Structure formats: structure tokens, C-alpha cells
């Protein structure tokens, strides 16, 4: 999986979304993340089509929302996503949350069927805790490729990171900049000033140091390029340790529909 992707949450103006996806791909990004609930899959597809990049070079992911997780709904809604995205296959399809209509025995076999049909190359989960992953692995024959979770320097997810590493599951970070809260954090600002970079770049470099793929959302070209420049930044051991020592329980996403065990 590419080390950095473009997130598109809240990028729901069709023209702005199309332009940002195209800009990101032509900047060098090769991973684009969307979801059914974002209501921008068509614009994401238009941006991919408009970019001077072959579809085969793009790692494209979307997510099935909680009200479409019954077996037949997973199949139907994924085919609708493919049509909106203007593509014959998805590189990665996630279960967005283990809640709502989610039933491992109904939901997960549908994802496997889509994979067997060649419509989905990899199966992923999102917002899954270890107990959810263990249950899913008991149901699935195919491997779980990735778990997309909130993780950033202010929510470091050590226990879940260790669990997924042991299970050979990639981690993908949404809200990797803590929805802007990384700006103004003293340690991050100090490192950024010392290196002549942004706090965003420091945060994204820290995630990469931990083996996590980040998908920061960005619409403007300046932010898209600034995030991309993080790939040139390598933190020192001492810098990484300073970030590791930050208070790390500042969760930004805690919806009322999250499962009880979450």
C-alpha cells in the first residue's frame, strides 16, 4: 500500500473534490480513499479519470456504510459504488464500522464473494477493535488486509497497533492531523521549526515511522503538496521519542453509534 494517501471525508463539493483528487494524483499520490457515506464517489471517480495517471496505478478504496451491511446490501451497494467511481474493481473495500446492520456471518461472506468475482481485490475493516477483528478472522477465509482507524500523535493506539502488527494487518490512519489539533502542540511545533517544515509534515512522518499509512484530507493544492512533502522528512530517534511521549488520549471521533466494545 502506498505510504501516503488522499482522504476525501467532507470533500463533498463535486468540482472541488474532482480537482483535489486530480491535483493529488498529478502531485504523486497513488492512494485515494472515499466512502459511501461521504457522498462523493462520483466526484472521486471523475478526478481519477481527469488525472494524467492510469487507473491501474491508483490504489482506490471505499467503505460500505452501516445501513448497507446485510449480505445482499453489501453486494448491491458495492456495485453501485463501482458505477459511481467509474471503475471495474476496488483495490480495497472496507466495512466502515462494526455497527448498524453489521453481522459478521452476513456481512463478511458478501465481501468474500465480491473478492472472488474480481470486483474487490482486498478486504478491509475500519474502526475495529481486537475483539471485532478476532471474530472477523474466524468467519473469513480471505485475509483482512487493513484496519482504518483514527490514529495520530495525540491518539497513538499502542495496543491496537501491536495487535494488528501481530495479525499482519496494515493500519491506515484517518484524521492523522487530529482534525487540526496537531498545530500548536509544543513538541510538534518545536520539531517543525527546527526542521523548517510544518507540524502536519512532522505528524505524517511520525505515522510513517510507525509503519502506518496516513490519508489526510486536503482540498487545496498547497495542503496537498505540503502533506506530500512529508515523504522527504525522516525523524531522528530522539524526535520520534519526544512525540511518543505526548499525551495520547485525544480522540476526535467518538460517534454515538460506535459499538459498545469500541
In sequence order, the 6+-apart residues with CB closer than 8 A to the CB of 84 are 41, 42, 45
What beta strand segments (E) does 29-142 contain? 31-33, 59-64, 92-95, 123-126
Who's near 256: CB < 8 A, 6+ residues apart? Answer: none
C-alpha closest to that of 41 among 67, 91, 78, 2: 78
Instruction: Answer yes or no: are the C-beta atoms of 182 and 153 closer than 8 Å.
Output: yes
Cα angle vertex 231, ends 252, 19, to 5°?
70
The catalytic residue positions are: 38
Q: How many C-beta neighbours within 10 Å does residue 30 have?
A: 17
- Among candidate residues 115, 111, 89, the one with its CA nearest the CA of residue 102: 111
C-beta separation of 38 from 7 below 8 A: no
Task: Give the 3-state DSSP-derived string for 57-79, with helices as H, strands as E and coil as C.
Answer: HCEEEEEECHHHCCHHHHHHHHH
Amino acid at each position: 500500500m502506498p505510504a501516503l494517501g488522499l482522504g476525501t471525508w467532507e470533500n463533498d463539493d463535486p468540482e472541488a473534490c474532482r480537482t483535489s483528487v486530480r491535483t493529488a494524483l498529478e502531485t504523486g499520490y497513488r492512494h485515494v480513499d472515499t466512502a459511501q457515506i461521504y457522498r462523493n464517489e462520483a466526484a472521486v471517480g471523475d478526478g481519477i479519470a481527469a488525472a494524467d495517471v492510469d487507473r491501474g496505478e491508483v490504489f482506490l478504496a471505499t467503505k460500505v456504510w452501516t445501513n448497507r451491511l446485510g449480505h445482499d446490501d453489501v453486494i448491491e451497494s458495492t456495485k453501485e459504488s463501482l458505477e459511481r467511481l467509474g471503475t471495474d474493481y476496488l483495490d480495497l473495500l472496507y466495512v466502515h464500522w462494526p455497527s448498524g446492520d453489521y453481522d459478521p456471518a452476513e456481512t463478511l461472506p458478501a465481501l468474500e464473494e465480491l473478492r472472488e468475482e474480481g470486483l474487490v481485490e482486498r478486504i478491509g475493516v475500519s474502526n475495529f477493535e481486537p475483539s471485532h477483528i478476532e471474530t472477523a478472522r474466524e468467519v473469513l477465509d480471505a485475509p483482512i488486509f487493513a484496519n482504518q482507524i483514527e490514529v495520530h500523535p495525540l491518539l497513538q493506539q499502542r495496543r491496537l497497533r501491536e495487535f494488528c502488527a501481530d495479525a499482519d494487518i496494515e493500519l491506515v490512519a484517518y484524521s492523522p492531523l487530529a482534525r487540526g489539533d496537531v498545530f500548536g502542540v509544543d513538541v510538534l511545533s518545536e520539531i517543525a521549526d527546527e526542521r523548517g517544515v510544518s507540524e502536519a509534515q512532522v505528524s505524517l512522518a511520525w505515522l510513517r515511522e510507525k509503519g502506518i499509512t496516513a490519508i489526510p484530507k486536503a482540498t487545496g493544492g498547497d495542503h496537498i503538496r505540503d502533506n506530500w512533502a512529508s515523504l522527504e522528512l525522516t525523524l531522528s530517534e530522539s524526535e520520534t521519542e519526544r512525540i511518543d511521549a505526548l499525551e495520547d488520549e485525544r480522540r476526535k471521533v467518538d460517534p454515538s453509534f460506535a459499538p459498545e466494545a469500541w
